[in-house]
Amino acid sequence: MSTLSVNDIAQFFYADQRINVTVKFRLKEQVYLEIQTPVTGLRLPPPQTPIFLQWQWYATQWYATHWQQQGIVERVDLGPSPMIVAAMQDQPQAVENRRTRRYHLHIPMLIPQGPLKWRKITTETEDVSVDGLRCQVPMAFTEGTTVDFILELPTRTIKMNGTVLRCRESGQPGLFDMALRLNPVMGRDYQLFRAYLDSQP
């Protein structure tokens, strides 16, 4: 069983919105969730609202299992670091027992940077799955943030984005190992990406 721990990245849905959070502090039955989704125009759950937190747990670098646990919102703090405090209920439940295959594919990858996205980080994937990917980058990305990127598949170029699960120093000087959870609500490009993975032996 996977327990939601400090620095874990999770999400929940409220009012047809997906809200990304990071666990900043945890007591036995209480979690402090820092809101990573921009709060401007965001509808947040009021106290006493049930929410269902979802997260991934990587059993190995190859497989990930999805977990869910219900919480009850105790309060919402809209200070400089917006926070939701929730009381966790029951035990975490595996909501998807299917484990996704990861592929050792080195796909050329570009990560646009800057206000106008003119500067690009050039890298390649280390491994990929339908849920996420791993790559090495020359700078640290904040966990929980959304990263737009471009993948150069053999037949076409696609644009996607994902949430940073972790970004830590690798064994090579000046490089960071970054894991992204893909955002599946991306339409045709994501479907092309899945079709490419399905075509792999």
Alpha carbon separation from 31 to 50, 87, 144, 200 (Å, rounded): 14, 7, 16, 41
Query: Whole-prediction pTM value?
Result: 0.54
DSSP annotation string for 94-156: EEE------B----EEEEEESTT--EEEEEEEEEE-SSEEEEEESS---TT-EEEEEEE-SS-
Residue 64 confidence (pLDDT): 55
Average pLDDT, integer, range 182-195: 78
Name the DSSP letter for residue 195: H
pLDDT score of 174 more than 70: yes
**Three-class SS state of 196:** helix
* Residue percentage of the chain with pLDDT more than 90: 45
Q: What is the pLDDT of residues 121-143, one digit of tens each?
A: 999 999 998 888 999 999 999 98
pLDDT score of 60 more than 50: no
Residue 70 confidence (pLDDT): 92
Q: What is the pLDDT of residues 73-114, one digit of tens each?
A: 999 999 899 999 999 998 888 764 445 678 899 999 999 987
Residue 62 confidence (pLDDT): 42
pLDDT score of 58 more than 70: no
Q: Which run of H or of E encompasses 193?
A: helix 188-198
Select, from the ranges 7-16, 20-29, 112-121, 187-196, the one with the highest average predicted confidence (pLDDT): 20-29
Average pLDDT, integer, range 154-160: 92
Between CA 43 and CA 19 the distance in angstroms is: 9
Residues in the chain, how many?
A: 201
